[in-house]
């Protein structure tokens, strides 16, 4: 029998104890700040009905959904359907012989009813509608859970990753956007990360597409300009051409896109205001951004804050403010992002309920902190003290002492085997345990403990109360 080499799917990872300690530091830091602002925790299932997920993220997002085959004979529903293999434009694809519709669009509802959640926002909207009679509005929630996307794995992009979402739903006040920006600012200050917070508004982007004569191509426009920082202005214009924007439309859009590198809203505002003067949705978006910056200018922020007209965020459901946070020190995708969604719950039968939220990407935050060595040095140990094992009599004596120490909230363990002391001390060093306790025949007789400081090598005798005072400082 051959031995199978163990592996995990691409885009997923195992986490060692040290990595988990550091990840939990990120989660705990974010959670504390969420709670400081009055947000409450919820959780939703990893699985959602595909009907809940499909159509909420745009065509590209739908392709990245992990779909789960129905249990049992999942092919039963397609027994009578006829398919042929076609090769359109040199690309293999299976289509329905009679209708010409791509097979995956027809087959998916028949063989797969559920999928892994793509993000936490759409499941949150579903949750709000389902539990609306139990909630107090405005409802402020946070959620820290994994999501899954069938993306191409690369640096900072995984197929399974954690999001830390914070949303408020049931209020259209811009104070909510201000609060979310303050939360983001506080989180990254606590983690010691230098970041820039970027702000835009989907209403302004909608107004630009109306101005250039392509009002029905907002999603195509936002998808293209969202890549300006990666492919440049010329690359974005080429992408607009590929999405059937006319040359005259692109020419009209260029004066707006030339502000993509401009970071000061006050500098950009006069041009946008005068150019979009006759487009109501544009004026509304500009007024919202202006009000947001007016609120923020009197608040001391740790992060830099910029207006960025190229910030679009490709999700279909954004309708107002768009927020994104980028690292100032490491080239990586956004660390945090979100925005206003005015009627996401309407899809599920609860119309006219506005919400706004942001999502922190814990995995990218981890990668940046690791690269910049930002984790506190004392995170390496979950154990404060190790009791050396000298044999059965000493083990028996140690157990009630360890129990008393743990009841004081101090993490402690005893080495499970009576082996050479060097091996036990090596164990303490490798786990970064700062103190070891030696209890031998003399200590049992005297009732005192010998405490060794592993950082200095110094040893001192003390009673259990002195030991607790030492470990609690």
Tell me, what's the pLDDT at 255? Answer: 92
Domain 17-44+128-371: give its CATH architecture: 2-Layer Sandwich (3.30)
Tell me, what's the pLDDT at 80? Answer: 57
Confidence band of 101 (pLDDT split at 50, 70, 90): low
Confidence band of 139 (pLDDT split at 50, 70, 90): very high
Domain map of the chain by residue range?
A: 17-44+128-371, 381-472
Tell me, what's the pLDDT at 264? Answer: 81
Cβ neighbourhood burial of 236 (10 Å; 0-12, 13-18, 19+): buried
Pair of tokens at residue 149: 């996307």
Between 344 and 126, name the one with better pLDDT: 126
- Cα separation, 246 vs 391, in Å, equals 84
**Is the pLDDT score of 247 beyond 60?**
yes
**Is the pLDDT score of 169 beyond 70?**
yes
**Is the pLDDT score of 406 beyond 70?**
yes
Whether residue 450 contacts residue 443, with contact meaning beta carbons closer than 8 Å, is answered with yes
Range 394-415 average pLDDT: 95
**Is the pLDDT score of 87 beyond 50?**
no
User: What is the per-residue DSSP string for 108-175?
Assistant: HHHH--EEE-S-SHHHHHHHHHHTGGGPPSSEEEEEEEEEE--PPPBTTB-SEEEEEEEEEES---TH
CATH classification (class only), 381-472: alpha beta
Tell me, what's the pLDDT at 97? Answer: 59
**Is the pLDDT score of 43 beyond 90?**
yes
Range 138-145 average pLDDT: 98
Whether residue 345 contacts residue 9, with contact meaning beta carbons closer than 8 Å, is answered with no
Whether residue 417 contacts residue 465, with contact meaning beta carbons closer than 8 Å, is answered with no
Tell me, what's the pLDDT at 347? Answer: 83
Between 66 and 86, name the one with better pLDDT: 66
Whose CA is closest to 43, among 129, 131, 120, 114? 120
Tens-digit pLDDT profile for residues 269-280: 999 999 999 999
Tell me, what's the pLDDT at 77? Answer: 61
Tell me, what's the pLDDT at 99? Answer: 64
**Is the pLDDT score of 377 beyond 90?**
no
**Is the pLDDT score of 102 beyond 70?**
no
255 contact partners, CB below 8 Å, separation of at least 6: 271, 275
Which residue, chain included where needed, has tokens 């002195």?
466
Which residue, chain included where needed, has tokens 């209708």?
99
DSSP state of 185: H
- Cα separation, 74 vs 57, in Å, equals 26
412-414 and 449-453 strand pairing: unpaired
Range 321-346 average pLDDT: 92
**Is the pLDDT score of 118 beyond 60?**
yes
The whole-model pTM stands at: 0.86
Tell me, what's the pLDDT at 108? Answer: 75
DSSP state of 359: E
E strands, 177-221, where?
195-201
Confidence band of 62 (pLDDT split at 50, 70, 90): confident
195-201 and 304-307 strand pairing: parallel
Pair of tokens at residue 263: 């970071």
Tell me, what's the pLDDT at 104? Answer: 63
Range 248-256 average pLDDT: 93
Q: Which of 2-6, 191-195, 321-325 has the lowest mean pLDDT?
A: 2-6
Confidence band of 149 (pLDDT split at 50, 70, 90): very high
Pair of tokens at residue 121: 């926002």
Tell me, what's the pLDDT at 313? Answer: 76
What does the mean pLDDT of the chain come to? 90
């Amino acid at each position: 029998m051959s031995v199978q080499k163990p592996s995990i799917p691409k885009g997923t990872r195992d986490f060692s104890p040290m990595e988990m300690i550091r990840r939990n530091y990120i989660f705990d830091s974010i959670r504390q700040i969420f709670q400081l602002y009055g947000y409450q925790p919820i959780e939703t299932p990893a699985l959602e009905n595909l009907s809940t997920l499909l159509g909420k993220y745009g065509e590209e997002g739908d392709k990245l959904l992990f779909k789960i085959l129905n249990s049992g004979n999942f092919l039963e529903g397609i027994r009578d359907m006829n398919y042929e293999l076609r090769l359109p434009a040199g690309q293999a694809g299976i289509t329905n012989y009679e209708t010409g519709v791509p097979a995956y669009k027809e087959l998916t509802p028949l063989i797969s009813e559920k999928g892994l959640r793509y993000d936490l926002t759409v499941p949150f909207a579903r949750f709000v509608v389902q539990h609306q009679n139990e909630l107090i509005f405005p409802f402020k929630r946070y959620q820290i859970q994994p999501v899954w996307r069938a993306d191409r794995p690369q640096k900072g992009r995984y197929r399974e990753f954690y999001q830390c979402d914070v949303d408020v739903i049931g209020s259209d006040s811009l104070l909510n956007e201000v609060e979310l920006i303050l939360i983001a600012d506080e989180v990254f200050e606590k983690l010691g990360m230098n970041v820039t917070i970027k702000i835009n508004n989907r209403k302004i982007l909608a107004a630009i597409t109306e101005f250039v004569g392509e009002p029905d191509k907002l999603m195509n426009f936002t998808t293209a300009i969202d890549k300006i920082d990666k492919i440049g202005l010329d690359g974005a214009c080429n992408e607009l051409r590929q999405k059937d924007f006319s040359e005259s439309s692109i020419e009209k859009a260029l004066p707006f896109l030339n502000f993509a590198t401009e970071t000061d809203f006050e500098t950009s505002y006069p041009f946008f205001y005068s150019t979009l003067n006759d487009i109501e949705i544009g004026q509304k978006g500009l007024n919202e951004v202006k009000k947001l910056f007016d609120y923020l200018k009197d608040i001391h922020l740790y992060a830099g804050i910029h207006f960025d007209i190229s910030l679009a965020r490709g999700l279909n459901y954004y309708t107002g403010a768009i927020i994104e946070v980028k690292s100032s020190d490491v080239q990586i995708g956004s660390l945090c992002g979100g925005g206003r969604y005015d009627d996401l719950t309407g899809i599920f039968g609860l119309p006219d309920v506005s919400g706004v939220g942001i999502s922190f990407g814990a995995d990218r935050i981890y990668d940046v902190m690791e690269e910049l060595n930002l984790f506190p040095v004392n995170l390496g140990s979950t154990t404060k003290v190790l009791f050396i094992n000298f044999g059965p009599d000493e083990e028996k004596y140690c157990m009630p002492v360890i129990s008393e120490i743990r009841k004081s909230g101090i993490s402690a363990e005893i080495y499970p085997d009576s082996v050479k002391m060097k091996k036990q001390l090596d164990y303490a060093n490798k786990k970064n345990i700062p103190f070891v306790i030696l209890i031998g025949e003399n200590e049992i007789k005297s009732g005192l403990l010998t405490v060794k400081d592993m950082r200095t090598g110094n040893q001192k005798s003390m009673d259990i109360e002195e030991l607790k005072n030492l470990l609690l400082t």
